[in-house]
């Protein structure tokens, strides 16, 4: 017997993969290769550039590398064009250009650029990198604060204010107590206070988050500048001479060539920063807390339905974000400069915001973006010392330009948390 099965012929649905050709990488590579060609031929320079890899205090001394500008630039330009062509071939075959190739491309471009810009001069590589990490530190703390805040659904334009408040509070408290650790604590509290205002106004009073952020920045600039002029500058000895954190070399790691001085002979704030980056990444993506946080930022209604208190989650995580950003502010006074000054953050909060977006709201990527921006900024100051042909203003512009390209979708996909910037009103 046979069951009358209406046997349709087994349709083997072959899911043919649509050939998606992404031409952005080869176009980008090509543009940069042409820029390199123009820069190195029109503005041709000659001479020997020396890269010093070790400092005099290093245990293991690496020899300095000398590079002939003409040879290096010629070789690199050829390599860049080759990579652009290879990337175009990959795109034609509907394959992705691997990330390592982009990294290699950027590194080659950078080496050639450095060699060319510092023709006939000496570049202290460890000094360049140490300075970059130092300049990145407040950006990294600020961008971690931004990531947490935006992931939970509150746009944090007030990073600048949180940094500035942290810098101010840490300078005053550390000066009075002569305890840098207490200064650090004060910075955390100050950043948190700014966040309380941001959270209260945007969550309780449903004021637009961008407005609150912008106004808070003005408020903090006004308050700190007022108190600085009125109290801090007349009593600088008592109120504005904070002790700085000493450098704490980590025994074994600190002796690794190049990496040692850059990452492991730093102040305690930088070590806190490493821990903070790892902790934020782990907490966001591997814990219940992080899942809830992201749920609230992506779909508050769904989060509410499963019993998460949306507004309370937002309030406390925005406060946490402010606390972390406040730590970044402390770096200005306790880590690098030493005394508070009017508007000393000078737009670092906005670069941190740029790092958040360029890093696609991911703590690790945002950290890398902040490092990149810090490096560009320090490169500018090193090159202005050796007398670079590129005006420093254009180097300083770089992070902002890169961010505009990023949000305009020219550098990968950028997608904000869905509910970021939207207040949640339950009724």
Partner 1 sequence: MSEQLPPPVQPEETVTPVTPEPETQEGSRSQQVLRDILGGSAMISVLAVVLALIAGAILIAVTDKNVQAASGYFFSRPGDTLKAIWDAAAGAYSALFQGSIYNFRRPGFADGIKPLTETLTFATPLIAAGLGVAVSFRTGLFNIGGRGQMLVAAGAAGYVAFTFPMPFPLHLIVAVIAGVAAGAIWGGIAGLLKARTGAHEVIVTIMLNYIGLYLISYLLRTQGALQAPGSNNPKSPAMLPSAVFPDLLGAKYNLHWGFIFAIAATVWVWYLINRSNLGFQFRAVGANPHAARVAGMNVKNIYVYAMLISGGLIGLAGVAQILGTVTTGFSEGIDAGIGFDAITVALLGRSKPVGVFFAGILFGALKAGGYSMQAAQGVPVDIVLVVQSLIVLFIAAPPLVRAIFRLPVPGSMRRAKALNPNAMVTK
Report the residue number, 196 or 274, with the smaller CB distance to partner 1.
196
Footprint (CB under 8 A) of partner 1, residues 402-421: 403-404, 407-409, 414-416, 418-421
Stretch of residues binding partner 1 (CB under 8 A), selected from 58-66, 84-92, 187-195, 400-408: 400-408
Q: Is residue 100 within the footprint of partner 1 (CB under 8 A)?
A: no
Tell me the pairing of strands 122-124 and 65-68: unpaired
Q: Is residue 176 within the footprint of partner 1 (CB under 8 A)?
A: no
* Contact flags string 279-308 toward partner 1, x per CB under 8 A: --------------------xxx--x----
Find, among 328, 326, 327, 316, the residue nearest to 200 by Cα: 316
Tell me the pairing of strands 48-52 and 122-124: parallel
Q: Is residue 318 within the footprint of partner 1 (CB under 8 A)?
A: no
| CA–CA gap between residue 359 and residue 93 (Å, rounded) | 28
The secondary structure element, H or E, covering residue 306 is: none
Footprint (CB under 8 A) of partner 1, residues 337-376: 347, 350, 353-354, 357
Q: What is the DSSP letter of 9?
A: -
Q: How far is the CB of 248 from partner 1 (least distance, A)?
A: 34
| CA angle centred on 86, ends 82 and 87, rounded to 5° | 115
| CA–CA gap between residue 95 and residue 87 (Å, rounded) | 9
Contacts of 255 (CB under 8 A, 6+ apart): 58, 59, 60
Stretch of residues binding partner 1 (CB under 8 A), selected from 63-71, 82-90, 271-279, 387-395: 387-395
Q: Is residue 252 within the footprint of partner 1 (CB under 8 A)?
A: no
Stretch of residues binding partner 1 (CB under 8 A), selected from 1-9, 92-100, 125-133, 220-228: 220-228
Report the residue number, 76 or 355, with the smaller CB distance to partner 1.
355
| CA–CA gap between residue 326 and residue 184 (Å, rounded) | 8
Binding test (CB under 8 A) with partner 1, winner from 68, 208, 255, 362: 208
Q: Is residue 387 within the footprint of partner 1 (CB under 8 A)?
A: no
Q: Is residue 110 within the footprint of partner 1 (CB under 8 A)?
A: no
The secondary structure element, H or E, covering residue 153 is: none
Q: How far is the CB of 231 from partner 1 (least distance, A)?
A: 6
Q: How far is CA 270 from CA 225, 292, 337, 355, 375, in A?
A: 27, 29, 15, 18, 16
Q: Is residue 381 within the footprint of partner 1 (CB under 8 A)?
A: no
| CA–CA gap between residue 239 and residue 416 (Å, rounded) | 41
Number of CB atoms found within 10 A of residue 389's CB: 12
Contact between residue 41 and residue 84 where contact means Cβ atoms under 8 Å apart:
no
Q: How far is CA 76 from CA 12, 87, 142, 185, in A?
A: 50, 16, 36, 48
Question: How many residues belong to the site for partner 1 (CB under 8 A)?
Answer: 61
Stretch of residues binding partner 1 (CB under 8 A), selected from 91-99, 181-189, 200-208, 287-295: 200-208
Q: How far is the CB of 362 from partner 1 (least distance, A)?
A: 14
Tokens of 8: 């349709």
Binding test (CB under 8 A) with partner 1, winner from 51, 76, 143, 150: 150
Q: How far is the CB of 301 from partner 1 (least distance, A)?
A: 5
Point out which residues pair with 367 in neighbouring strands: none
Q: How far is the CB of 360 from partner 1 (least distance, A)?
A: 10
Q: Is residue 38 within the footprint of partner 1 (CB under 8 A)?
A: no
Tokens of 101: 């190739």
Q: Is residue 243 within the footprint of partner 1 (CB under 8 A)?
A: no
Q: DSSP string of 329-381? A: HHIIIIIIS-S--TTTTTTHHHHHHHHHHHTTT-HHHHHHHHHHHHHHHHHHH
Write out the residues near partner 1 by the rule CB under 8 A. Answer: 150, 155, 157, 197, 201, 205-208, 210-212, 214-219, 221-223, 225-227, 229-231, 299-301, 304, 347, 350, 353-354, 357, 391, 393-394, 396-397, 400-401, 403-404, 407-409, 414-416, 418-427
């Amino acid at each position: 017997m046979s069951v009358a099965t209406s046997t349709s012929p087994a349709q083997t649905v072959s899911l043919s993969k649509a050939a998606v050709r992404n031409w952005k990488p080869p176009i980008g590579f090509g543009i940069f290769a042409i820029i390199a060609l123009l820069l190195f031929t029109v503005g041709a320079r000659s001479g020997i550039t020396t890269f010093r890899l070790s400092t005099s205090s290093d245990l293991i001394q690496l020899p300095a590398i000398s590079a002939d500008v003409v040879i290096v630039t010629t070789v690199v330009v050829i390599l860049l064009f080759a990579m652009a062509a290879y990337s175009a071939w990959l795109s034609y075959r509907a394959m992705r250009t691997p990330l390592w190739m982009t990294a290699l491309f950027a590194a080659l471009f950078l080496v050639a650029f450095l060699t060319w810009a510092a023709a006939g001069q000496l570049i202290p590589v460890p000094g360049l990198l140490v300075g970059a990490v130092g300049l990145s530190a407040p950006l990294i703390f600020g961008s971690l604060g931004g990531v947490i805040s935006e992931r939970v659904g509150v746009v944090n334009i007030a990073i600048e204010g949180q940094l500035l408040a942290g810098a101010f509070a840490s300078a005053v408290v550390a000066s009075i107590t002569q305890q840098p650790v207490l200064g650090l604590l004060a910075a955390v509290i100050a950043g948190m206070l700014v966040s309380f205002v941001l959270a209260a106004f945007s969550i309780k009073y449903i004021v637009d988050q961008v407005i609150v952020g912008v106004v808070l920045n003005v408020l903090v600039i006004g308050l700190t500048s007022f108190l600085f002029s009125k109290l801090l500058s007349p009593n600088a000895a008592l109120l504005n001479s904070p002790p700085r954190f000493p450098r704490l070399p980590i025994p074994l790691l600190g002796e690794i060539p190049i990496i040692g001085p850059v990452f492991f002979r730093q102040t305690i704030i930088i070590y806190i920063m490493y821990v903070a980056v790892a902790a934020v990444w782990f907490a966001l993506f591997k814990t219940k807390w992080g899942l809830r946080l992201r749920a609230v930022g992506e779909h508050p209604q769904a989060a509410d339905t499963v019993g998460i208190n949306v507004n309370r989650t937002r309030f406390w995580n925005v406060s946490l974000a402010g606390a972390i950003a406040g730590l970044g502010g402390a770096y200005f006074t306790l880590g690098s400069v030493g005394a508070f000054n009017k508007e000393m953050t000078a737009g670092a909060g906005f670069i941190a915001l740029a790092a958040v977006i360029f890093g696609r709201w991911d703590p690790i990527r945002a950290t890398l973006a902040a490092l990149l921006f810090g490096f560009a900024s320090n490169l500018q100051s090193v090159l202005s010392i050796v007398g670079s042909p590129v005006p420093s203003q254009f180097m300083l512009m770089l992070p902002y330009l890169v961010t505009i390209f990023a949000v305009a979708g020219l550098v990968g996909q950028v997608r904000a948390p869905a509910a970021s910037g939207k207040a949640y009103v339950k009724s």
